[in-house]
Amino acid sequence: QVQLVESGGGLVQPGGSHRLSCAVSGSIFRVYAMGWYRPAPGKSRRELVAVFASNNMTTYADSVKGRFTISRDNSKNTVYLQMNSLRPEDTAVYYCHAGIALVHPGPINEYWGPGTQVTVSS
């Protein structure tokens, strides 16, 4: 069973920094894009926070540009989200997402982590 294992959720002060991690668990052939999502303010739909594509290109939501940095350790099939200058509006459940090929040749399937709560409050 392939799973995305998230860690790093917690409480942080406004203006502070925090880091999330997400590791792929299980038997897989290759991990492609990995990223982080969260609900839009006042909405339940998940929207992109940051993604690290398999071509090493990164994309960020406008609301986090200049504050968040996404990175990967491909040897560990792990993606990180470094969050700086955190604001109360960053409070959300953050969900890890990955495109994974279980076998080769085979299709790229999408997987979601269970979500980890980040609360920014004094």
What average pLDDT score do residues 43-51 get? 93
| C-alpha distance from residue 44 to each of 40, 59, 94 (Å) | 7, 21, 12
Which of 19, 77, 75 minimizes the C-alpha distance to 50? 19
Q: How many residues does the chain have?
A: 122
User: Smallest Cα–Cα separation from 118: which of 87, 78, 80, 79?
Assistant: 87
In this prediction, residue 122 carries a pLDDT of 93
56: three-class secondary structure by DSSP: coil
> Could you tell me if residue 12 is left (phi over 0), alpha (psi between -120 and 50 degrees) or otherwise beta?
beta
| 21 closest CA partner among 87, 71, 84 | 71
pLDDT at 42: 80
Residue 44 scores a pLDDT above 90:
no
